[in-house]
Amino acid sequence: MQPAYGGPPAPPFPPPPPPARRVPPAVLAVVVAAVLAVMAAAAFAVYAIADRRNAPYERNLREARALGAPAGFARRAERNAGGGTARVTFARTCAGRPCDRSDIRDAALAVTGWLRTRQGIQAVIAMPAQDGESCAIGVRTSPGRPPITRAGVALTPARSIELALDVG
């Protein structure tokens, strides 16, 4: 049949597409199970690797907790300081009044005396800062024990005293 306007004949309609092949439910179930198994294995591997990376920190945190706290100090925070080092901080107030430089000296003496009584500590020395608002404490631990890599007391801006210990 010729179109009324005299152009070329209209192309025939394309043939219908072949019917879609259905995936059997058993095959679909196997594929879904395989994908879930791979995802579970990957999640377990990530967890295991992360757990192994945290093992030094966990060991050092247990060591820091085993030290306890010096008299008059309350444990304030524990955190991972990086490289497996556990940082534990303690706080002390000065009996209802703002702490000052003389309290730093007293706190440093109390902390060094306390550290000397802890198992695995060989030597302790206090090194007061020139400004009198902090005191670094050098600690040597027994061989085989995690080192205390940083210790010190300092006067905070809130006029309390903070003790920080890095173990590991």
The answer to whether the beta carbons of residues 129 and 44 sit under 8 Å apart is no
Mean pLDDT of 129-140: 93
- What was the pLDDT predicted at 76? 95
- What was the pLDDT predicted at 25? 85
Residue 27 scores a pLDDT above 80: yes
- What was the pLDDT predicted at 75? 94
Q: What pTM does this model have? A: 0.66
Compute φ and ψ for 60, nearest 5 degrees: -70, -35
- Alpha-carbon distance of 138 to 125, in angstroms, equals 5
Lowest-confidence segment of 9-18, 85-94, 127-136 by average pLDDT: 9-18
Residue 19 scores a pLDDT above 90: no
Residues 37-93: tens digit of each pLDDT: 889 888 877 776 666 668 899 999 999 999 999 999 999 999 999 899 999 999 999
